[in-house]
Structures are given as C-alpha cells and as structure tokens.
Amino acid sequence: MNVTSATTAATTTSSTGSASASNSLAGLGPNAFLQIMMAQLQNQNPLSASSTDPTQFVSELSQMTMVEQETNTAQATAQSTALSLLGHSVTYTDTAGKQQTGTVHSVDLTGTNGPTLTIGATAGISPSSISEVS
C-alpha cells in the first residue's frame, strides 16, 4: 500500500463515516490514521535526513487514543446523568422558551446528539434544558 492509496482510503473512510457534527473525530477516524501511519512507515527511507521521526507516529497514536477515551467518557457521563433523572420532577425550558415542569418518564439513548428525555407527554427534551430537579 502506498501513501496515495492510504490517503484515498482515509478520505473514503472519513466521507462515509459518522456525519455527527459533535463527533470530535469526524475528519479522520482511527482506522484511517493507522492506514496512513503504516504507509508512511513502509515508505520511509531510514537513510534520509528528511525522514519523519518514527516516534512521532507513536505520539500521534497515543493522542488519538486519549481523545477517543475522553469522548467515550463524556458520552457515558451524559447517559448516566440522563438516566439518573428518571422518575424525578424537573423544570425545563421548552422550544418556545417557556419554563415547564414535569416528571421524567423515559430516556432515549439512541439519538446521535446524546440522550433525550420524555417529560410528561413531551419527548425529545435535551437534558441541558433542565434548570431544576426535585
């Protein structure tokens, strides 16, 4: 595999990947990064002074892993917070900007923008719109 095919594979991967704007890894995913890194390692000339430092790849891989772990932790925290609201009476701001009060009946964890709540008969309420829990 050469660098051109790895870059093409990375572009294909990123264009067919998740379209979520909130995903911090929307540009290149971990698989695309690994393909590019392997192509660069296979094609580097160890005798050339202009070759990239191989330890740079390890550093970049480590940084990508840390970002992925932080993203997973943030998603788990958001889900846990939403689930902890089940059965509680909450005050929230509706889409019209008015304060509403109701009981959290369910949590939807399948959305692409994080968990949403059903409060009373109103579904799709973001936990961030909640101002008070009792």
- Across the beta sheet with 89-93, the strand order is 122-125, 116-119, 99-108, 89-93, 130-133
Lowest mean pLDDT among 11-25, 89-103, 117-131: 11-25
Residues 41 and 98 placed together within one structural domain of the fold: no
Residues 63 and 119 placed together within one structural domain of the fold: no
Residue 75 lies in domain? 3-81
Residues 77 and 21 placed together within one structural domain of the fold: yes
Residues 60 and 24 placed together within one structural domain of the fold: yes
Residues 9 and 66 placed together within one structural domain of the fold: yes
- pTM of the complete model beyond 0.85: no
Residue 31: pLDDT over 80: no
Residues 58 and 109 placed together within one structural domain of the fold: no
Three-state DSSP class for 34? helix
Residues 121 and 71 placed together within one structural domain of the fold: no
Q: What would the pLDDT profile of 58-110 be if each residue is shown by its tens digit? A: 787 788 888 889 988 999 999 999 999 999 999 999 989 999 999 999 999 98
Give which of 70, 71, 63, 81 is closest to 20, Cα–Cα. 71
Residues 96 and 31 placed together within one structural domain of the fold: no
